[in-house]
């Protein structure tokens, strides 16, 4: 089980470099790519908040997330902001105990979920978003 959690963390850890490699040749970023990258940054921030809530409170209800876009930035600034958000998320995950990974909450759309479920859903979103980014820049 611990290996599964490490695999999820490794997936999240690899994303900033993969994004820099993918987006490095696109300057400036197309507006669609900028929005997708901002969405990824914002999602990292939202997932961090959800996980913090799940690890601090037992059986908490997690409402449907309201999409509140962060400030618009250029591609380089967005990548830096994404790096920071992803670093905070990974830092939290690396410090979770095995018991923390199994903590539960009630998600407004998915029902009862664990921290591990939430992280796995985020990894899947991350992978899909990177694919959309690649298409947005023609890569």
Mean pLDDT to the nearest integer, 59-71: 73
- Helices and strands per DSSP (H, E), number in the chain: 5, 3
Looking at residue 111, its pLDDT comes to 93
Cα 4 to Cα 10: distance, rounded to the nearest angstrom: 10
Neighbours of 112 (CB within 10 A): 10
Backbone angles phi, psi at 69, to 5 degrees: -65, 140
All structural domains of the chain: 1-138 (1.20.120.450)
Q: What pLDDT sits at residue 5?
A: 94
Cα 28 from Cα 124, distance rounded (Å): 27
Above 80 in pLDDT, residue 65? no
Give the pLDDT score at 115: 97
Residue 88 to residue 106: CA distance in whole angstroms: 23
pLDDT digits over 98-118, tens only? 999 999 999 999 999 999 999
pLDDT tens digits along 7-56: 999 999 999 999 888 887 667 888 888 899 999 999 999 999 999 999 99
Rounded to the nearest angstrom, the gap between the alpha carbon of residue 100 and the centroid of all alpha carbons in its chain is 18
């Amino acid at each position: 089980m611990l290996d599964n959690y490490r695999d999820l963390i490794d997936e999240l850890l690899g994303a900033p470099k993969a994004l820099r490699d993918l987006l490095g040749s696109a300057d400036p970023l197309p507006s669609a790519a900028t929005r997708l990258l901002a969405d990824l940054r914002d999602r990292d921030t939202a997932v961090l908040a959800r996980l913090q809530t799940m690890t601090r409170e037992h059986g908490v209800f997690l409402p449907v997330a309201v999409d509140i876009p962060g400030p618009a930035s250029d591609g380089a600034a967005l990548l830096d902001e994404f790096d920071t958000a992803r670093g905070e998320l990974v830092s939290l995950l690396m410090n979770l105990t095995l018991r923390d990974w199994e903590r539960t909450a009630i998600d407004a759309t998915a029902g009862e979920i664990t921290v591990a479920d939430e992280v796995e859903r985020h990894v899947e979103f991350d992978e899909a978003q990177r694919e959309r980014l690649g298409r947005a820049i023609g890569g």
